[in-house]
Each structure stands twice: as structure tokens, then as C-alpha cells.
Structure 1
């Protein structure tokens, strides 16, 4: 038979991330496609940023070996935090994977309703539309670009290539963003008369 025939997709949890692996048969060769669904962040959020936001109970997307603690309890990708009951997490800090792999984590945070998320301030993206404009209670656009840290805690030589936003879920976390000393522009999404306009 000619053409390409797809074999079943296999999901694999590894030390470097969650992968979907699909093998494709054709008449000439066997081709394996690996799609990286999520992997640990290669940069660590600044400690002074999380310190300014108060104590957190849980950080569900942390490195196994981290230079400092952000919360009382940390879960890494290997712990499969998306399989856990987030209602037990308490006040949650989330610095999710970038792009589409962030979606399941943000869905959990929206449902949980108690935490703060650090995201790129890319307001034009579908992720920002769905989980900030439509799903969050408040957002603080940080004035300056952040300087992140390497996994060993050493500071990067320069600032991030994009701006950042802190996103609040739950009334207490809205108050935290409103009253903290982090400079930026705060929007209370519970009371703001914002409207999303969708082009035909």
C-alpha cells in the first residue's frame, strides 16, 4: 500500500518533559515525530518578585533542584501536577511553561481560583485572551522587563526579551497585586468595563 500510515500516539513522561511520540510508516522509511508538550522552564523567576507577593502554599511547576523555595510545597513536572487535586493547593504560585503547553496549567488555576501567575504580557495571544482577559480577576503589567535567573540561581546578564504580567485569581490575590510595591499598571478585571471585540 502507498501513502503514509500513522501508528498510535504514545505519551511519555521523561526527566525533561511530557512528550507525544507518533511513528509514521511509509514505503521508504519509518519516521518518528516527537512533539514537546511541556518541559521545565530554563529560567527562574526573580526571588524579589515572589517575595513581594507574600507567602505561597504550593508551586506546582517548579524545578526539582532549585536555588530557593517559592512556596511551602513544590511539585516538579515529574510529579505530574496536572493529575493532582488543585483544590488542596491553597494559595498557589505558577510560572507555567511558555505558549500552548501553559493552557492546561492555566485551566487548573482558573478552576482553583486562588493564586498568582507570571506570564509574558503578550496581550494578543489566545492564551492571554482565554486565561487573563476572560478568566482572571486582576492583572498587573510590570513596568520594567524582568531579569531572570539561571537554574543555579545566578542572574542573567540582561533583561528578558519581553514584558511580563502578574495575573491574580481570587479576591485576596487581587488585593495583593493592587497593594504590592511592584511598579506597573494594575487592572481590576472584576470591575473594569472591558470588552473583547472579535472580528468576523
Structure 2
């Protein structure tokens, strides 16, 4: 769930705060047990268990392998912190490597990154692809060795950066 804008004749206008990860990004990453940030209007499964904004995914216990496409903006850091603490997650966030949340929760705690090539065109609630792209580059952040391995072998276009090996 991300804050994005649709571009039309009147310029960029926020149309929703609920942006769905394209299935072509999810599929190569394998199965997930939990998505604590699923849309209420999700036409495809992101995980075996999907929690929506009504469920407050941060308030729930997390178990198994987690997919996290958090709400972008000031609260993304809370989700990244939770992914890091859980230790078995892949998060999709903007590749804003200079931010405090990246320096606190990604650089020192993640096992690998996959900087996705190009800018994602997310989907709107119900499944229709957004007209415009995300407006910034995105990165998949792996917490846990199995998730780092999944990023390394998923085949998605981008630059894979192993982090854990560099620290050891």
C-alpha cells in the first residue's frame, strides 16, 4: 500500500493510498505465509494470511515468511523495523538510501537488496494497473538468508546487493 499519484490532463492527482504490488514481482519471490499490509481490495493472493488496514498488521504476531509492501511515507520505518526484528521478510520500499529509516533498519539489518530496474507501475484496488509509475525507484529488502537467496535467484531485473556477506 503506497501513496502514488495518477497523472492526467490536470497533472498529478492522488487517487488512492492503496497500491498493489504487481503479481509479476511477487511470483518469482515464492510463497509467503503472511502479508501484514494487504489491500482490502486485493484481487490476487500475496500470502497465505493477509491482514488489511482494518486488522492493523503491526499489532499482530508475525509468523513464517512475510511479504511487506508497507504504506509509504512517515510510517514505513515502523514496518521496516518490524521486518528486521522478525528476521524472515521481504519488504518493497522506495530506494531512498539516504533516509533515516534506511540507515536504521536496512543498511545494518538487512541481508540483501535488489534495486529493481525502472520504476514500478503498481496496481489500483481491484487490480487495474496505474497509469503512471511510482515516481521513484524501488528496492526489495531481504531479511534472512533464505530471502536473500530468493532475491539473488528470482530473475527480476535489477542490481542485487548482498549485505550480510559484506559485514561478515
- Normalised by the length of structure 2, the TM-score is 0.85
Q: How many residues align?
A: 152
Comparing 51-60 and 153-162, the one that deviates more: 153-162
Q: Which runs of 4+ in 1 moved over 6 A?
A: none
How far residue 173 of structure 1 moved from its aligned partner, in angstroms, is 0.3
Q: Distance in 2 between matches of 1:145 and 1:82?
A: 27
- The within-5 A match list for 1:82-101 is 82-86=58-62, 89-101=63-75
Instruction: Considering fraction of residues, name the structure with more strand.
Output: 1
**Structure 1 residues not aligned, in runs of 5+:** 1-39, 194-200
Matching residue within 178, 183, 186 for 2:160: 186
Q: Check the 8 A contact 1:56/1:93 in 2, yes or no.
A: yes
1:163 and 2:133 are equivalent in the alignment:
no
Matches within 5 A, 1:68-79: 68-79=44-55
Q: Is the 8 A contact 1:99 1:127 kept in 2?
A: no
By relative contact order (CA 8 Å, sep 6+), the higher-ranking structure is: 2
Return the offset for 1:55: 0.6
1:136 maps to which residue?
Answer: 110
In structure 1, the residue matched to 2:84 is 110
Tell whether the 8 Å contact from 2:80 to 2:106 is kept in structure 1 after alignment. no
Alignment root-mean-square deviation, CA: 1.4
Instruction: Give the counterpart of 1:80 among 56, 62, 65.
Output: 56
Q: Which runs of 5+ in 2 are unaligned?
A: 1-15
Instruction: Give the TM-score taking structure 1 as reference length.
Output: 0.72
The structure 1 residue matched to 2:39, chosen from 63, 78, 91, is: 63
Would the aligned equivalents of 1:56 and 1:71 in 2 still touch at CA under 8 Å? yes
Q: Which moved more, 1:76-85 or 1:158-167?
A: 76-85
Query: Once the 2 structures are TM-superposed, how far is the Cα of residue 96 of structure 1 from its aligned partner?
Result: 0.7
User: Who is 1:149 aligned against?
Assistant: 123
Q: Look at both structures and tell me which one has the larger radius of gyration over its CA atoms.
A: 1
How far apart are residue 185 of structure 1 and its match? 0.7
Query: Structure 1 145/52 Cα, relative in aligned 2: closer, same or farther at 3 Å?
Result: same
Q: Deviation at 1:83?
A: 1.7
> Partners in 1 of 2:131 and 2:121 — Cα distance?
8
